[in-house]
Amino acid sequence: MYKLTEEGQEYLERGLPERRLLDILDAPLELEDASKRVENFSIALQWAKKEGWVEIREGRIHLVDKPKALPQEKALKKVSKGQAVDKDILKVLVSRKLIEKVREDILKRAKKLVGTEITQLPEELISTGLWKEVRFKSYNVKVPGKRIHPGKRQPYQLFVGRMKRKLVELGFQEVTGQLIETEFWNFDALYQPQNHPARDWTSTYQLKYPESGRLPDKKIVDHVKAAHENGWTTGSTGWKYRWDPKKAARLMPRAHGTCISARTLASNPEIPGKYFAIARCYRPDFLDATHLIEFNQAEGIVIDESLNLKNLLGILEIFAKEIAGAKKVKFLPDYYPFTEPSVQLSALHPDLGWMEFGGSGIFREELTKPLGIDVPVIAWGIGIDRLAMFKLGINDVRYLFSKDLDWLRDSKVL
C-alpha cells in the first residue's frame, strides 16, 4: 500500500515537471530561456533526457519525441486511487519521493476509526489521510488552560538585574567584593573612628572564627592610621586618638557596600571613573515585616577632578527619575562619617508620596587621600530592598527572600 507524498500530490494536480518542459518545446529553446519558464527545471530536464524525449545541442533543447501520456503520471494517478501499479515504476516513484509506503498496521488502526467521532487526533489518521473519514468531537474551548509552572527568575533578583542594567547604561562599571571584610576596609579606611558607636557589638556583627585577617599594604595602613590620629596631610585635625592596628585587622561580615568603594579607590581606578556594586550586607537585626537579617545595598562612586556638590545633586536626581520613577526630588542635609557634605535624597513617588531613597556625599579627604586619590569622589548608596518593595508592590520585606513557592510561582516577571 502506497500513498502520495506532498510533492507527488502536487504533480498529480499540475503534471510532472518534464511534462511542463515538453509542453513549451514547440521550437528549440535556449537552456537559460527554458529554465526561466519551467518550475523545477533541472528535474524536468533530467527526466526528459533520461526518457529520450529531448536532447541538447549547441546550448539549446530540442524536442525528440513527445509521448501522449507519461507512464509516471499514469502511475501516480493509479497510486492515488489505491490501484495496483507496475513494480518498476513504483520503485522510480519512491526514489523520486513522489510516493511512500503506508504501513499496514497503521492503516488497519486508522481504518478502525473511520466513521467514528474522535477526541484525540491519532498519528495514523494524519498519515493515512483517513482523517477525512472521521468526525471531531467539539471541546469546551472556553476553559482556561491547566495551570503549569514555568522555570522563572526570582522577582527580587529580576529587579536587581534591571537595576544593574540601568546603572551600566548610566556609565557605571560593576565591581564586587567579599562577604567577609576586615574592619580596616569596612570602617577604618572609611575614616570611621575605632570607638564609633556604629562599630560596637550591638551595631555590627563580629566573627568568632576566623577572628582576624591581615592588613593591606603598609603604605595605605600608615596613611589611614595618620588620618585617624592627626589628619595626616589632609589639613584635618583627625579624630585625635591612638589608632589600633589589631582592631582594624578584626574580621566581620561587611556592614555596608562602601567597603567595596574603598577597595576600588585603593586599586588605582580610572579617572574619570564611575563604579557601582550591589552588595549583600549584614547588621544585627531581627527578621520582621520591616527588617531583614541581611540586606542589599546599591553603592557607587564617581571620581573626577571636576566634581562638586551640584554634580552630586545631579546624580541623585537622575537616580530618582530613572530608577525610582520619581517626578520630584528634595534634598535633605545629612550626616555620614565618611562624606562631607552629605545629602539624603527624598523622592516623590507617584503613588507612595515622599520616600527616602538613598544617602550620598562627597568623600572626606581623610578617606580619599590615604587611599591615593587626590580628586573629589562622589559616593552614593541606595537601599534597594525598600525600593524593590515599592516596585514589586509588597509591604512585607521578607517576601524579597520569600520561602513561599506558591508566591514565587504566581509572581510576575514584569
Partner 1 sequence: MPKIDFSLKDLQRLLRTDITYDELKERGILFVKGEIEGLQEEVISADIKDTNRPDLWSAEGIARELQSHYGVREGLPEFKMGRSGISLNVDRKVGRVRPKTVGAVVKGLSLDDESIKQMIQLQEKIHMTYGRNREVTAIGVYDLDRIAPPINYTTVKPDGIKFIPLDFEEELTPAEILEKHPKGREYGHLIDKFGEYPLMIDSAGNVLSIPPIINSVYTGKVSPQTKNVFIELTGQEVERLSIALNVLVAAFYERGGEVLSVDVNYPDGTIVTPDMTPREFSIDAEECRKILGLDLKKKEIINLLKRASYDAKSKNGKLLVKYPAYRNDIMHSRDVIEDIAIAYDVNRIDPQPPELSTIGTMDPKEEFCDTVREVIVGLGFQEVLTFSLVSKKNLFDKMNLKEKEICEIANPISTSWNSIRNWLLPSILDFLRANLHVEYPQKVFEVGDVVVIDGKEETGTRTEKKLACAVSGGRACYEDISSVLDAFLRNIGVEYRLKGKRHKSFISGRSAEVVTNGRAVGIVGEIHPLVLNNWGIEKPVAAFEIDIDGIK
Residues 160-219, interacting with partner 1 (CB under 8 A): 161, 164, 167-182, 195-197, 200-202, 205-214, 216
15: alpha, beta or left? (left if phi > 0; alpha if psi -120 to 50)? left
* 316 binding partner 1? (CB under 8 A): yes
Q: What is the C-alpha to C-alpha distance for residues 191 and 199, in angstroms, rounded to an integer?
A: 12
Phi, psi of 28, rounded to the nearest 5 degrees: -55, 145
Q: Which is nearer to partner 1, 208 or 218 (CB)?
A: 208
Which triple of cell numbers denotes residue 334? 545629612
Are 142 and 208 contacting, i.e. CB atoms less than 8 angstroms apart? no
Are 378 and 360 contacting, i.e. CB atoms less than 8 angstroms apart? yes
Contact stretch for partner 1 (CB under 8 A) within 20-28, 64-72, 83-91, 159-167: 159-167
Closest CB 395 distance from partner 1, rounded Å: 18
Nearest to 282 by CA among 188, 186, 373: 186
Contact stretch for partner 1 (CB under 8 A) within 45-53, 80-88, 97-105, 289-297: 289-297
Residues between 57 and 76 that touch partner 1 (CB under 8 A): none
Nearest to 252 by CA among 299, 208, 218, 298: 208
Q: Which is nearer to partner 1, 93 or 259 (CB)?
A: 259
Q: What is the C-alpha to C-alpha distance for residues 221 and 370, in angstroms, rounded to an integer?
A: 8
Contact stretch for partner 1 (CB under 8 A) within 13-21, 101-109, 123-131, 358-366: 358-366
Closest CB 120 distance from partner 1, rounded Å: 24
363-392 mask for partner 1 (x: CB under 8 A)? -xxx---------x-x--------------
Beta strands 99-101 and 2-4: pairing type? antiparallel
350: DSSP letter: T
Contact stretch for partner 1 (CB under 8 A) within 70-78, 95-103, 126-134, 332-340: 332-340
Q: Which is nearer to partner 1, 11 or 156 (CB)?
A: 156
- Cis amide bond preceding 210, omega within 30: yes
* 307 binding partner 1? (CB under 8 A): yes
Measured between alpha carbons, how far apart are the two ends of the chain, in Å?
55
Closest CB 155 distance from partner 1, rounded Å: 9
Residues between 224 and 263 that touch partner 1 (CB under 8 A): 231, 234-240, 251, 253
Choose, by CB under 8 A, the member of 112, 335, 350, 352 that binds partner 1. 335
